[in-house]
Structure 1
Amino acid sequence: MELGSPLPSVVEAWVAALQRRDVLDWGGIALRITGVSIVDPPAFGCGRARMRTETPVVMKSPPSNQLPGQTWVLPAEPEFPTLFNNNLVRKAKTLGLAPDIGLDGIVWVGPKRSFAVKGGAKPGATVDVALSGDPQVLQALWSWGLGQANAAGFGWIGAAQ
C-alpha cells in the first residue's frame, strides 16, 4: 500500500505511527505491516516531467449561467486543459510554492471510469501528461496526485519521468 502527501511532516507522522503497529485496520480489512519506507519523488531537475496516473483523474467545472451545477469534465473534453492547469497552479500556491507549473500536453487518455465514493459517483480517466515548471512543484505534484479528489484516491501517479 502506498500513501502520499506533498507535506513532509504528514509523511513523517504516518511513518512514525505505522512503525509502532503490527496491523492496520483499513476499513474493516486487517493489513499486516511488514515494513514502512519513504519513497522520495524524482528530482525533475530539468523542469520537465511526464506523469501517468494509475487511478482516474477527475475534474469539475465551476457552475455557470449556462450550467447551474458543477459538471464533470473528462480529459478528452475541450475545457479539461484549462481546468487541469488551474488545478496545478492552485496546488502550488496552496503549498506556498511559486506557481511556475504548466500543462504542456495530454499525451494519452485511458477509458472513462466511474467510482462510487462518498457523495456519489465520480467519473474520470487515467492520463499521461507532459508538464513543465519548477522541479520542487513537480515533486510536490508527484507526491500529491493530479486533478481533484486525491484524498479519495483519484489521480495517483504510477509512473513519472
Structure 2
Amino acid sequence: MLEFGSPLPEVVEALGTGLAGRELLDWGGVALRLTGMRAVEPPEFGAGRVRWRTATPVVMKGSGRDATGAMGPREAWLLPGEPEWPAYMQGNLRRKAETLGLDAGVELESVSWVGPKRSFAVGSGLKPGAAVEVELSGPPETLRALWSWGLGQANSAGFGWVKA
C-alpha cells in the first residue's frame, strides 16, 4: 500500500486523476502495480485534542546556535528532546495553519514518546529525525489539515507522516 497526503483537496484530486487508469507506477525504479485507489478522509477531531504517533521520522531545523548563542559549523537539524525542538515544532504547526488560512491556535502540549534517530538521504543530503508521539490541541479543522499534511518539515519527501 502506498499513501499520499495533502491538506488541499485539489492536490489529492489532481493526483487521483493522474493515477486513474494506470496499471503500473514506476516509483524510483520499483514497479508498483495499481489495483485500486481510495480517498481517506481525516478524522473529525471534534474534541480539539489529539495524540499522534508518526510512522516516519520528523525532521526539524533549528537556529544553528549552541547554548552560548554562537552559530555552529553545520546545518541545525534538531531531534526531539533537544532544547529548541518544541519551539520550532510549535512554529511549524502555526505556519502550516496560516498557510492554509486556518485558525493557527494549535498548541504542542507534550512529546510523549521519541523513537530512535534515523537519517535518510534525500536530494538535498542527509536529513536526521526521529518518529514521535505528540499531544496537540487546537481547532478541529486545523487538526484535520495537519493530520493530512504531516508533522515537521520535508513532508513532501515522506517525513512526519501521521499514522492513521
Q: Same fold (TM over 0.5)?
A: yes
1:134 to 139, 144, 148: 139
Write 1 or 2 for the structure with the bigger share of strand: 1
Q: Which amino acid aligns with 1:141?
A: L
Matched, 1:83 2:84: no
After TM superposition, give the deviation of residue 117 of structure 1 in Å: 1.1
Deviations 1:34-85 (A, max 9, x none): 0000000010001111110010001101355611554111001111110000
Distance 1:83 1:30 in 2: 38
Q: How far apart, in 2, do the equivalents of 1:36 and 1:86 lie?
A: 34
Task: Tell me the distance in 2 between the aligned counterparts of 1:30 and 1:109.
Answer: 33
Q: Tell me how many residue pairs correspond in the alignment.
A: 159
Task: Give the secondary-structure state (helix, strand or coil) at the position aligned to 2:163.
Answer: strand
Match of 2:157 in 1: 152
Gaps of 5+ in 2: none
- Give the alignment's Cα RMSD to 1 decimal: 1.3
**Which residue pairs with 2:18 in the alignment?**
17
Q: Deviations over 1:8-38 (max 9, x none)?
A: 0000111122122111111121111100000
1:94 and 1:67 map into 2 onto residues whose CA distance is: 29
Aligned equivalents of 2:120 and 2:75: distance in 1? 17
In structure 2, C-alpha distance between the alignment counterparts of 1:118 and 1:13, rounded to whole Å: 24
Moved more, 16-25 or 41-50: 16-25
Aligned runs of 1:3-14 on 2, under 5 Å? 3-14=4-15
State the alpha-carbon separation in 1 of the partners of residues 43 and 56 from structure 2.
19
- Determine the C-alpha separation between the residues in 2 that align with 1:133 and 1:79: 21
Q: Report the Cα distance in structure 1 between the residues aligned to 2:105 and 2:146, rounded to whole angstroms.
A: 12
CA distance in 1, matches of 2:104, 2:148: 16
What is residue 66 of structure 1 aligned with on the other side? 70
Distance 2:96 2:132 in 1: 18
Q: For residue 44 of structure 2, what is the aligned residue in structure 1?
A: 43
The normalised TM-score by structure 2 is: 0.92
TM-score, structure 1 as length reference: 0.94
Provide the C-alpha distance between the structure 2 equivalents of 1:20 and 1:97, rounded to a whole number of angstroms. 34
Structure 1: any 5+ residue segments left out of the alignment? none
